[in-house]
Amino acid sequence: MAKRRVIDIESEVESSSSEYSPPSTARQPTSRKRRKRKEPEGATRVEHPDTDTTREYCPSHAASVHQIQSAASTCRALLQWYTGVSESRGMPWRKPYDPSLSIDARAQRAYEVWISEIMLQQTQVATVIPYYNRWMEKFPTIRDLAAASIDEVNSLWKGLGYYSRASRLLSGAQKTVKDFNGRLPDNAKDMEAHIPGIGRYSAGAICSIAYGEVVPVLDGNVHRLLSRFLALHAQPKAKATLNILWSAANDILTTGARSTENPAIGYPGDVNQALIELGSTICKVRDPNCEECPLRDQCAGYLWSSASKTASDDIPDIEELCTICEPLERGSGVLAFPMKVERKKAREELDLVNVIEWRSKSQQRMFLLVKRPENGLLAGLYEFPTLANVTASISNSTSTESLLSMYLSSKVYLRVDAGSADSESYHIVNTKPVGDVIHVFSHIKKTYRVQWVLLEGCSEPPFPTPLNDDKSTKTPSRRAKQPRSESTQRSSGTAWFDMNEVAEANIGTGVRKVWELTKRLWE
């Protein structure tokens, strides 16, 4: 089942300007006499999509090609198709629009749609459904979510990845309860401006579906669909490209829905959901099903790739030419759209991970976890004490041991005696390299160099000072202290977990890989 979003496009769309009036994208064509087209010298003429040719020049064309030619018929065909398929793809957040709902009931719908939209980013629908159902059981209203802790939220999110989405949901809920009486704003402009983690696309989706606002959407699926529909072969993240696509989405939504020629008028949420659904199920990234597409006969990309449209004899006057499309490689029909861009290579980083175990005389085994900052990568998740982004030349020998000692004393303020066997003090009795774990994020390739560290001494594990404590906090005594409560430990940012609890803690996939590798030492 296809993903609802393509994250590299989606991230750019979400960070777009909050201005909702679509810009003018092209000059209107004039009635001047057309000139015969002269092919560029050395260009290859393709007569059929199956012709054995590796390259075709991008034929000169008017900028008006990238405008919706008949919004009414496009909208009509789209809604007729969506009516037939929406029920067959049942989703718990997909409900018929009811204009008679009260203000509070509409706000509740907005909350439900918001949760689903954030979960669906970079995640397949089939994967999201059980997570969504569990979420709504735990946090049925936005006030329930706002009252939760980041640990509760991350625990419910565990396995979906991209944990920053969960923390933004929590901060957005808290902002809504504090400043908007527990109701998400009922218009996209205010929602985008005031609610953390909601960009232009998400605001449009939520407000059109829940509140019936006439506002367009442009996620990764709609971006791809409209790029093909308009035969737009330009830099996909460029401002000019996005302006054209937002304008097209707006034209289909507004002009089409207002037209008296359209008997199948649906509320704005229907139109937007139809575009998203068509992009995710029919106009897919690698295997588009053009034969089943309700917009095929109007699709410029499909017509351009057909034999009958390849060799048009007329070109527009120079004032009317499109200036943003780039030379086009032929060979895959509509797959040429949108224009492919070379992805940036993920930067490589090396982290030194210390799996620190404290073992009692009775063989109780506890492992130290530290909570990451509430913002940034893997926000609010637990990890083993880690020295991030160390030099790539580090070895699993003396240098790692010295770094460990420095980390324990200066970062988590855990004082140990390396060689002491005094039962009244903590001491390192074993340090063993575990190996490397490779974990790739969207923009970082992490190598976790793992070492296991065994501590002994005293009757309770040591309780390090949390990372965010005041700098004036004194280094804890080497002598055993009365243990703090588990809730106090974990709320402070550091905690010891029983060996059987580590896998159930709020840890990311990379940390889970580290844990599974380390367990091989004794399993």
Query: In terms of domains, do 320 and 382 share one?
Result: no
Q: Which domain holds residue 414?
A: 347-519
Q: What is the pLDDT of residues 347-358, one digit of tens each?
A: 999 999 999 999
Query: In terms of domains, do 331 and 452 share one?
Result: no
C-alpha distances in Å from residue 49, one per residue of 115, 172, 292, 296, 463: 43, 49, 19, 16, 69
Q: What CATH number is given to the structural domain containing 109?
A: 1.10.1670.10
The pTM of the full predicted model, rounded to 2 decimals, is: 0.77
Q: Where are the alpha helices (DSSP H) in 391-482?
A: 398-410
Which segments of the chain have a pLDDT < 50?
Answer: 1, 5-54, 260, 262-264, 308-313, 465-491
Active site residue 192: no
Question: For the chain, how many residues are written?
Answer: 523
CA 152 to centroid of chain Cα atoms: 21
H or E element that contains 439: strand 427-440
Q: What CATH number is given to the structural domain containing 381?
A: 3.90.79.10
| Total domains in the fold of the chain | 2
Quickly tell me which residue has 């048009």 as its tokens. Answer: 312
Which residues in 360-426 belong to E strands, given as ranges? 365-371, 382-383, 386-387
Q: What is the pLDDT of residues 144-199, one digit of tens each?
A: 999 999 989 999 999 898 888 999 999 999 999 999 999 999 999 999 999 999 99
Catalytic site residue from 117, 213, 320, 383: 117
> Which pLDDT does position 523 carry in this prediction?
80
Query: In terms of domains, do 406 and 310 share one?
Result: no
| Dist CA 370 CA 217 (whole Å) | 40
Query: In terms of domains, do 502 and 368 share one?
Result: yes
Classify residue 306: in a domain, yes or no. yes
Query: In terms of domains, do 246 and 129 share one?
Result: yes
